[in-house]
Amino acid sequence: MDSAKVEAITKWPRPTSVTEVRSFLGLAGYYRRFVEGFSRLALPLTKLMRKGEKFIWNEAREKSFEELKQHLVSAPHGKVIAYASRQLKPYEVKWLTHDLELVAVVFALKIWRHYLY
């Protein structure tokens, strides 16, 4: 990664509004393929963008913000081609484990279908 981009990410100021959170997540989301567990790391920040959610910056959101910045500027370990993750939809949270495993298989096939054909 370019050193100017690394410096820009490390010096990114703490968001003070939903618009700034959306801007940071837009940048981070572009590189989500290279961050293991991106959805889990970004969850506290994505909750801020829900309709009717008040902007309250707490320890969990600060930790999420700093961890995402650290993962974005650090080199990946090993030789991973790409990561893929997503958050469960509200209705999926109540599903049984074997159903969620099938959802994961379908998700993986959709994401990496170009490797299969």
**Residue 64 reports pLDDT greater than 70:** yes
Same domain, 55 and 19: yes
Alpha-carbon gap, residue 75 to 113, rounded angstroms? 26
**Residue 75 reports pLDDT greater than 90:** no
- The pLDDT tens digits of the residues spanning 30-50 come to 888 888 889 899 999 999 998
Q: Are 95 and 79 in contact, with CB atoms under 8 Å apart? A: no
The number of distinct structural domains making up the chain is 2
Mean pLDDT of the chain: 88
Q: Are 111 and 84 in contact, with CB atoms under 8 Å apart? A: yes
Query: Is residue 98 a part of any domain in this protein?
Result: yes
pTM for this one?
0.67
Same domain, 106 and 55: no
The number of CA neighbours under 13 Å toward the Cβ of 85 is 16
- The pLDDT tens digits of the residues spanning 94-117 come to 999 999 999 999 999 998 888 887
Same domain, 32 and 62: yes
Percent of the chain with pLDDT over 70: 96
Same domain, 70 and 109: no
For residue 69, what are its two tokens?
A: 């910045």
